[in-house]
């Protein structure tokens, strides 16, 4: 670990990052961030400190129905369902890279949201999740008589 990384991963470093973080509060439906159709929100609370992290879109059945419709339309359009194995591999491997690249922010958001130790989220969860997407990406084009399902 470099000296600059050690400074960031100190208690004070994580505190500085937490002060600057702005979590997304909208639902992601159909490729866009949107408010809940009801315009209702709920408080996301850090269980370790009981501090309110954000007011988050409180989605209900109307939002779930919209998300399912959008997912079905995307599937039918073939954005993923008709992708070649090579294209799927690139997407999954890139997602693994992005998780690693944004690991500090993801670990911090996880910690703030559930009260988990940020060091555990950063040292265990981020690398494991990044590796998982990379593993499945790499497995796609391995020939075993058929293309591995994704």
Per-residue pLDDT tens listing for the chain (150 residues): 444 455 568 889 898 998 898 999 999 999 999 999 999 999 999 998 899 999 999 999 999 999 999 999 999 999 899 999 999 999 999 999 999 999 999 999 999 999 899 999 999 999 999 999 999 999 988 867 666 566
- Does residue 14 lie in a domain region? no
Instruction: Report the 10 Å Cβ neighbour count for 111.
Output: 21
Domain match, 59 and 92 both: no
**27 in any annotated domain:** yes
The pLDDT assigned to 3 comes to 44
> In this predicted structure, what is the pLDDT of residue 146?
66
55: helix, strand or coil = strand
Helix (H, G, I), strand (E, B) or coil at 126: helix
What domain count does the chain have? 2
Domain containing 71: what range? 22-80
Domain check: are 47 and 59 in the same one?
yes
**114 and 127 part of one domain:** yes
DSSP-derived pairing of the beta strands 32-34 and 41-45: unpaired
The pLDDT assigned to 150 comes to: 64
> Are 68 and 91 within one domain?
no
Contact 13, 20 (CB under 8 A): no
Rounded to the nearest 10°, the torsion over CA 60, 63, 68, 69 is 140
CA separation for the pair 10, 51 (Å, rounded): 21
| Residue 42 within a domain | yes
Please indicate, yes or no, if residue 143 is contained in any of the structural domains: yes
- Cα separation, 120 vs 126, whole angstroms: 9
4 in a domain, yes or no?
Answer: no
Residues 27 and 36: beta-carbon distance below 8 Å: yes
Structure tokens at 58: 């409180």
Q: Do 99 and 139 share a domain, yes or no?
A: yes
pTM here is: 0.82
How far CA 77 is from CA of 70, 81, 139, in Å, comes to: 10, 8, 25
């Amino acid at each position: 670990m470099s000296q600059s990384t050690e400074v960031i991963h100190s208690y004070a470093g994580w505190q500085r990052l937490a002060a600057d973080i702005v979590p997304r509060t909208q639902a992601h439906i159909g490729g866009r961030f949107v408010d809940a159709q009801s315009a209702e929100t709920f408080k996301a609370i850090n269980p370790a400190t009981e501090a309110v992290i954000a007011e988050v879109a409180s989605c209900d059945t109307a939002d779930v129905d919209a998300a399912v419709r959008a997912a079905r339309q995307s599937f039918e359009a073939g954005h993923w369902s008709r992708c070649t194995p090579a294209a799927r591999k690139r997407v999954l491997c890139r997602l693994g890279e992005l998780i690693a690249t944004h690991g500090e922010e993801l670990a911090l958001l996880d910690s703030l949201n559930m009260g988990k130790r940020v060091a555990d989220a950063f040292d265990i969860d981020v690398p494991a999740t990044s590796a998982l997407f990379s593993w499945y990406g790499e497995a796609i084009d391995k020939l075993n008589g058929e293309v591995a399902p994704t």
